[in-house]
Amino acid sequence: MSAPSLSITRRIRSTPFSRRVEAAGVKAYTVYNHMLLPTVFESVEADYHHLKRHVQVWDVACERQVEIRGRDATRLVQMLTPRDLRKLSIGQCFYVPMVDETGGMLNDPVLLKLSEDRYWISIADSDLLYWVKGLAYGLHWEVDVIEPDVSPLAVQGPKAEDLMARVFGEAIRNVKFFRFEPFEFDGHWFNIARSGYSKQGGFEIYVDGTKLGEPVWDRLMEAGQDLEVRAGGPNMIERIEGGLLSYGSDMTRANTPHECGLGRFCDTFTAIGCIGRDALLRVAAEGPVRQIRGLTIDGDGVPPCTTPWPIYGEEDGEDELIGMVTSAAWSPDLATNVSVGIVRMTHWKPGTSVTVETPAGVRTAKVRTLPFA
Ligand code: THG
């Protein structure tokens, strides 16, 4: 069976780095925020090993920014999330659940505070722009809500800091986790954060405009030759090992942040003004009845999870449906299948034995804590 290919048209937006990504031999894309997101260069496993040893440059332009600017910007951003934003300072990033009026997850972006009246919401895969624009219009508040021409380029892996220091200077080493600062490139200033969708460490360059995309890419590739720099992308195996969640896969509008294990990013009692606050107060106090967990699945490598796989557990001597697996991959380093799923509280204790109905057959599995590694 040959893998189907993707019909690319204008609707599936290219990025300032797309020509370089193709020249680097991209083998697979996914679509994220209506934009190309490269996922495989050599193979998922080879890319995984390389990411954990060296350094990669990722076209993550699909992490689009929703910019909120104006006198009421802070008030509007606080409406979107149960995380208390009074603790967010200029130059800082927060990972924030964003919820609707029922407390359902709309997105799980990284929020950047650029100034007292200006924010970037670096979104996951959902059309958050329309929700925010609708609110701003309906409230008649003094804010502009736009998608600026900003394209993140991630540099990830254990050698990321050395590579970044060569291109942007030694001062990059002083940028702390989830902080950002402007750095100069050919007379232009880019915000650079220590962040990214891997657990291997690294940075994200918010490349402003389209013109400089290829020059930045080229400079990183030239400077990193002896570091074995390569093109890469968010890696399914590494992100599951690291317990990084994927909106649309591991969580949807049907889940509260607490079910997603994102309760530590919620201050529901003090987040006054948050749209979903009333709905979340009860679950924040009582806790959820199902929650995201890791699961190791026995046997050989399972195929990717494209529709949820049922999880069964024993209850009063009978096998009952107690959850579903939403992402899975074979982990070469852990020598088992690692997966993410949502599990009912009766079975969510780490170490609990369950069975998972995978396309490769029914498998025994064990509930684990996230992250795996
Ligand atoms: N970087 C930026 N934008 C993004 C992502 C990113 N937008 C889309 C997507 N990724 C949003 N989802 C996540 C998920 C996890 C993290 C960041 C964005 C993350 N989590 C860390 C963790 O869970 O260990 C740290 C969270 C913390 O401690 O604050 O980094 O990757 N720009």
Query: Would the CB of 179 count as within 6 Å of ligand 1?
Result: no
Is the pTM of the predicted complex or chain greater than 0.95? Answer: yes
Q: Which residues does 342 contact at the CB level (< 8 Å), separation at least 6?
A: 250, 255, 259, 290, 291, 292, 293, 323, 324, 326
Average pLDDT rounded to a whole number, residues 319-340: 98
- 18-63+149-240 and 65-146: identical CATH topology: no
The 10s digit of each residue's pLDDT in 64-95 is 999 999 999 999 999 999 999 999 999 999 99
Percentage of the chain lying above the pLDDT 90 cut: 97
* Mean pLDDT over each residue of the chain, to the nearest integer: 97
Which atom of ligand 1 has the smallest separation from the CA of 93?
29
**What average pLDDT does this structure show over 182-186?**
97
CATH class given for the domain over 65-146? alpha beta
Position 4 confidence tier, pLDDT thresholds 50, 70, 90? confident
CA distances from 301 to 281, 324, 354, 368, 371 (A): 41, 18, 18, 18, 19
Q: Let me know if 9 is exposed, middle or buried by CB neighbors in 10 A (0-12, 13-18, 19+).
A: exposed
Place 220 in a pLDDT band, splitting at 50, 70 and 90: very high
Task: State in Å: Cα 313 to ligand 1 middle.
Answer: 32
33 or 373, which is more confident: 33
* pLDDT value at 135 more than 80: yes
Task: Name the 3-class secondary structure at 80.
Answer: helix
CB 60 within 8 A of CB 206: no
For residue 373, the model assigns a pLDDT of 81
How would residue 232 be classed by pLDDT, with cut points 50, 70 and 90?
very high
Percentage of the chain surpassing pLDDT 70? Answer: 100
Domain boundaries, the chain: 18-63+149-240, 65-146, 289-373
Minimum-distance ligand 1 atom for the alpha carbon of 63: 7
List, for residues 12-59, the tens digit of each pLDDT value. Answer: 999 999 999 999 999 999 999 999 999 999 999 999 999 999 999 999
Which pLDDT score is estimated for 10? 95
| pLDDT at residue 2 greater than cutoff 90 | no
- Let me know how long the chain is: 373
List pLDDT tens digits, range 271-295.
Answer: 999 999 999 999 888 999 999 999 9
State the pLDDT at residue 162: 98
Q: pLDDT (tens digit, 9 = 90+) per residue, 142-155?
A: 999 999 999 999 99
Give per-residue pLDDT as tens, 95-134. 999 999 999 999 999 999 999 999 999 999 999 999 999 9
**Yes or no: domain 289-373 corresponds to CATH 3.30.70.580:** no
Counting ligand 1 atoms within 8 A of each CB, the residue from 95, 147, 177, 203 with the most, and so the one to mutate, is 95
Q: Is 154's C-beta closer than 6 angstroms to any atom of ligand 1?
A: no
3 state SS of 203: strand
Q: Are 291 and 348 in contact (CB under 8 A)?
A: yes
Check residue 186 and report its DSSP letter: T
Candidate from 244, 251, 372 with most ligand 1 atoms within 8 A of CB, to mutate: 244
Q: What is the pLDDT of residue 1?
A: 55
- Fold for 18-63+149-240, please state it: Gyrase A; domain 2 (3.30.1360)
**CA-nearest residue, atom 16 of ligand 1:** 197
